[in-house]
Chain A
Amino acid sequence: EPEVTQTPSHQVTQMGQEVILRCVPISNHLYFYWYRQILGQKVEFLVSFYNNEISEKSEIFDDQFSVERPDGSNFTLKIRSTKLEDSAMYFCASSRDTGLAGVALDTQYFGPGTRLTVL
């Protein structure tokens, strides 16, 4: 069964450094998402991406964050200058296109996550 994969599983970085988290969505999916979960807290939406542009983003997704689909298979989340409070699990998800413009009704499938630790 196809699944979303993420690398690395654990990333340790120094405060102020840039990090790139990578995701390979399910191959026939066209909607991509990033969520994060700070330890002991809820899973929070960051951003959704469709047709090479951001379709929705939360307040958390500020100018320090960016997303990119650099090729036909990868989907990345970049944090430009990490802060201590960016330490969290970051989950990538993907879903199919329903065929209706702008409507991602279909189920989102999540990857195993990347644990980001900022020191």
Chain B
Amino acid sequence: DAKTTQPTSMDCAEGRAANLPCNHSTISGNEYVYWYRQIHSQGPQYIIHGLKNNETNEMASLIITEDRKSSTLILPHATLRDTAVYYCIVRGRLGNQFYFGTGTSLTVIP
């Protein structure tokens, strides 16, 4: 599976959009981009995933660049409960496991 690069930490004001970037320049055509988050020491929570089209669900939006070498997770109106570590993971169709890197520690500030 392709490697991902994320900023170590970010801050976001409560109520504003949080935009979390991820670089995956070695992604191959059949690999999906997944986003998970981990609040404190809880189990990782699935947020969203996509292949090449932008995706939106009740939690977030995922914007994938046309060349698929990077993506951005958008939390449209961040709340204090969105403070967490966010993981961008690239996973191939035949992969069984997820490789979690160090992620981005997002702090939502009141």
Contacts and interface: CB of A to CB of B under 8 A. Distances in A.
**A and B, one complex?**
yes
Interface of A: 4, 31, 33, 35, 37, 42-45, 48, 55-56, 58, 89, 91, 93, 102-105, 107-113, 115
Contact of B44 (A43, A48, A102): A43
A33 B91 CA distance: 15
Closest 3 CB pairs of A and B: A110-B43, A43-B100, A45-B97
A67 B41 CA distance: 23
Contact of A45 (B42, B94, B98): B98
B93 A91 contact: no
A31 B96 CA distance: 9
B101 interface: yes
Contact of A107 (B41, B46, B94, B102): B46
**Dominant secondary structure of chain B at its interface with chain A:** loop
Contacts, number: 52
Interface residues of B, number: 20
Contacts of A42: 100-102
A109 B46 CA distance: 7
Interface string B76-110: 00000000000100000110111111100000000
What is the predominant secondary structure among interface residues of chain A facing chain B?
strand
A104 B46 contact: no
Interface in B39-69: 41-46, 49
A22 to B, nearest CB: 15
B44 A91 contact: yes
5 contacts: A35-B100, A42-B100, A93-B44, A107-B34, A110-B45
A33 B41 contact: no
B72 interface: no
